[in-house]
Structure 1
Amino acid sequence: MLSQFLEFSLIGIASGAIYVLAALSFVIVYKATNVFNFATGQMMMFGTYLFYMFDKQFGIGWVAGLVAAIICSALLAMALERVLLRPLLGRPAVVLVMVTLGISSILEGLAQLIWGPDVRQLTEILPRKPIFLGDILIPGKLAWGFIIVGIIAALFMAYYRYSRAGTAIRATAVDQITAESLGINIRSVFLLSWGLAGVLATVSGIITGSVNGVTPQLGDVALNVLAVVMLAGMTSVGGVVIAGLFAGWLETVVGAYLGASWQSFIPYLVVLIVMLIKPTGLFGERRIERI
C-alpha cells in the first residue's frame, strides 16, 4: 500500500508540472501589468498548434518547429498587448478581463477554423520508456516532462531574480509610477512580460500536447491553472511552482482513491478553503492601496 501511494504521489507531482509553466505565464503578466489574462489557456493551445503546423504541416522538423513556434507565440502575445490591451490602460479591471476573454474566444475559434476539432498528434519529443524507482513505475513522458519543466522554471526564476530585465519587471510590479520615475520604460516591461508569458504558455502546451495530443479544447486546462494561481497567490512566482506540483499530486491521489468524480472538484474545494482563511493565497503578498 505504501509503495502504491508513493507511485500515485510521484505520478501526481510529475503531472502537476503541466500546470507550473502555464501558472508562471499567468503570474508574470499579472505582476507586471495587473491584468488577469484569462487567455492563458488558449495561448497554450494556439502555440501548440503552431508547433504542429511548423513540424508536421510545413515539415521543417520538430527542433526548428519548436523554435519557430516559441518565437511566433512570443510575437503574437506582444502584439495582443500592444494592439488590444495597451490602449485600455487605466480603464476598469473588468474591461481588461473581458478583453482577455475575447482574445481566448478568438484564438479558440481560429484554431477550430484552421485545424478543425479532431485530435492532432504531435511528434513524440518525450521518451515513452517508463522510469522505475524500485517497484515504483513512472510513465516516461510524465517523468521527462517534469524534468524539462523543472529546468525551464529554474532558468526563468533565475532570469526573473538576477537579470536587469527581471529587476525591471519586479520594480514595475511593486509600483509602476515609481518605476517609471526611476527611468524604467514600463511599456517595454509590459511587452516583455507578455512575450515571456507567450513562451511559457507555448512550452507548457507542447508538453501537455505531447502526452495527450492537441485539440482546440486544450486551453480548458487553464481552469485548473487558475486554481493553482489562486492557491499560491497571484503575486508569487515561486509559490505557483509549489502550488502546481501540489495540485497535480492532489488530483492524482484523490482520483486514485476516491474516483474521478471527486477528482474534479476537490482541488477547487481546497482553494476555496484556503481563500477563506488567507485571501491572498498561501504565498501571496498583501498589497496596500494608498489613496
Structure 2
Amino acid sequence: MSSDVQFFFEVLISGLLTGVLYSLVAIGFVLIYKASGVFNFAQGAMVLFAAMTLVGISNLGANVAVSALLTIPVMVGLAYCVEFFVLRRIVNQSQISLFMVTIGLSYILLGLGQLVWGAQVHSLDVGLPVGQFVVGDIFINQFDLSVAAICGVIVLGLAYFFQRTQVGLSLRAVADDHQAAISVGVSIRKVWIIVWSVAGIVCLVTGTVWGAKLGVQPALNLVALKAMPVIILGGLTSIPGAIVGGLIIGASEKLFEVYLGSLIGGATESWIPYAVAIAFLLVRPAGLFGTQELRRI
C-alpha cells in the first residue's frame, strides 16, 4: 500500500470514529423528539450536567464506575422534574413554545451545574485504552475505536427497546399521535419521564466519553452544535440515521480539513459540516431516514 493511500485511509477512519462521537450526541436529540415531539435545545447542557455530576461525585472519593451509577438516579430525577414542572404545564402547546422552554432549561442546567460542582476544568480517566494500534499499515486510535464499540451497543439496545418492548411501543405511539395514544390508555406523562430518563442516561455516556476526550468543562456544552448537521442528514426521528449522519459528517470534516483546508485558509472543521448539511437539506429535507410529514390545509 502506497503512503498516500495509507494516509487517506488513516484520515478516513479517524473521521468515521470521530463521527461516532457526534452520533452519541445526536441520539439524545432523536430520542426526545421521537417520543415527545420536542426539539431539545438543552441537550448539550444535559451532556455537560451529567459529566459534571459524575466528576463531582468521583471527587468525593468514589471511582468512575460507582460515580456513573450514582449519576443515573440524578438524570432520572432531572427527567421527572422536567416532566412535572415543565412538560405537563405546556402539553399541546406550539412547537416554538416547547423549543423556547428547552432554551430556558439549557441555561438553568448550565447555571445549576456550575453552582453545585464549580466551573473548573476537570480531567476524566474512564479506563478506555489510549494510543494507537496498527492494522496492516494503518494506524487506528484505540480510544475512538472503543467508543465506537460502546455506541454500537447503545444503538442495538435502543433499537430493541423501541421495537420489541411494550414501553418502547408506547413511546412510538405517543410520538405518532398524543391524543390517540391517550385515548387507548397510554400515560403520556409516564412516557415522557421514561424517554427523558433514557435520554439522560445517553447524555451521561456522551458526557463521560467527551469529558475523557476533551476534559469536563463548560465548553463541553457546545458539542451539541456538532449534532445539528448530523440530525439534518440522518433525520430527526431515526436512531440509525443519527449513526449514518455522524459517520458522514465525521468523515467529511476530516477529509476536507486535511486535503482542502490548506487551499482555502484552514479551519474548515468548524463550518464544513454545516455546508454539507445545508447542501443535503436542499436535496432531501427529511434526511436519509426521516419521513416527510404531510399536512392538510
| Class of the TM-score when normalised by the shorter of the 2 chains | over 0.9
Letter in 2 for 1:86: R
- Residue number in structure 1 paired with 2:240: 238
User: 1:115 offset after TM fit, Å?
Assistant: 3.8
Q: Which residue of 1 aligns with 2:286?
A: 280
8 Å contact from structure 2 (residues 56, 117) kept in 1: no
Aligned pair count?
A: 290
Residue 44 of structure 1 aligns to a residue whose secondary structure is helix
Counterpart of 2:9?
Answer: 6
Instruction: Give 2:150's match in structure 1, choosing from 148, 151, 156.
Output: 148
- Match of 2:287, SS state, is coil
Which residue identity lines up with residue 247 of structure 2 in the other structure? L
The aligned amino acid for 1:60 is A
Aligned to 2:91: 89
Q: Distance in 2 between matches of 1:288 and 1:191?
A: 28
**The one of 119, 122, 132 aligned to 2:121:** 119
- Please report how far the alpha carbon of residue 123 of structure 1 lies from its aligned counterpart in structure 2 after TM superposition: 2.4
Contact 2:83 2:189 in 1 (8 A): no
TM-score for the superposition, normalised by structure 1: 0.94
Q: State whether residues 121 and 214 of structure 1, in contact with CA within 8 Å, keep that contact through their aligned partners in structure 2.
A: yes
Long gaps (5+) in structure 1: none
Partner of 2:163: 161
- Deviation string for 1:202-246 (max 9, x for gaps)? 111111111111101101011111221122111222211111122
Find 1:33's aligned residue among 22, 32, 36.
36
Q: Distance in 1 between matches of 2:296 and 2:196?
A: 27
Q: What is the one-letter code of the residue matched to 1:244?
A: G
Would the alpha carbon gap of residues 258 and 116 (structure 1) be closer, same or farther in structure 2, given more than 3 Å must change?
A: farther
Instruction: Report the more deviating stretch, 198-207 or 84-93.
Output: 84-93
The aligned runs of 1:201-280 (5 Å cut-off) are 201-259=203-261, 260-280=266-286
Asked if structure 1 preserves the Cα contact closer than 8 Å seen for 2:124 and 2:216, the reply is yes
**1:290 positional shift:** 4.7
Q: Does the CA-based 8 Å contact 1:74-1:197 persist in structure 2? A: no
Query: Where does residue 79 of structure 1 map in the other structure?
Result: 81
Return the offset for 1:39: 0.3
**2:20 maps to which residue?**
17
Q: Distance in 2 between matches of 1:268 and 1:103?
A: 25
Per mean C-alpha deviation after superposition, the further-off stretch among 157-166 and 258-267 is 258-267
Q: Deviations 1:115-145 (Å, cap 9, x if unpaired)?
A: 4443210123211142321221122211111
Is the Cα contact below 8 Å between 1:70 and 1:203 reproduced in 2?
no
CA distance in 2, matches of 1:277, 1:209: 35
RMSD between aligned alpha carbons? 1.6
Deviations 1:171-218, CA, capped at 9 Å, x for gaps: 211222222222222221111111111111111111111111110110
Amino acid aligned to 2:289: F
Give aligned-pair identity as a percent.
35
Structure-2 change in CA distance of 1:111 and 1:187 (3 Å): closer
**Offset at residue 21 of structure 1 (A):** 2.2
- What is the Cα deviation at residue 61 of structure 1? 1.1
What TM-score, normalized to structure 2?
Answer: 0.92
Amino acid at match of 1:27: V
Among 38, 42, 50, the residue aligned to 1:47: 50
Give the secondary structure class of the aligned counterpart of 2:86. Answer: helix
What residue ranges of structure 2 are gaps of 5+ in the alignment?
none
Q: Secondary structure at the match of 2:233?
A: helix
Contact 1:71/1:199 (8 A) holds in 2: no
